Amino acid sequence: MNEKLTFNDGTEVQGHQLETETRLFIYLFGVSLEEAFDLMKVPENTKVIKWERYGQTGTVRGYKNLMSVSVEQGGMIAASLKK
């Protein structure tokens, strides 16, 4: 998979993100619900997230409040954060 997120603590996870005006949606692969929750419940880990997707890179900043986390079809973890 050509998608990766790097959280502020250095944790790298396969996945991607989608930023809207009010939320950051995170989609993770290869981690459990518990691992995702433990990672994203810590505001220090989510305040800066670097992303790589099919050769493009970027950074999202300021998302410190975990709003939801769930297991989706195929074991993908979906989460939403807000500033």
User: What would the pLDDT profile of 36-56 be if each residue is shown by its tens digit?
Assistant: 999 999 999 999 999 999 999
For residues 28-34, give the mean pLDDT. 96
Mean pLDDT of the chain: 96
Continuous segment of H or E residues that includes residue 34: helix 33-40
Q: How far apart are CA 79 and CA 28, in angstroms?
A: 8
pLDDT at 1 over 80: no
Q: For residue 35, what pLDDT is reported? A: 97
For residues 20-36, give the mean pLDDT. 96
> From residue 42, how far is each of 1, 34, 57, 73 by CA, in Å?
26, 13, 23, 25
User: What percent of the chain lies above the pLDDT cut of 70?
Assistant: 99
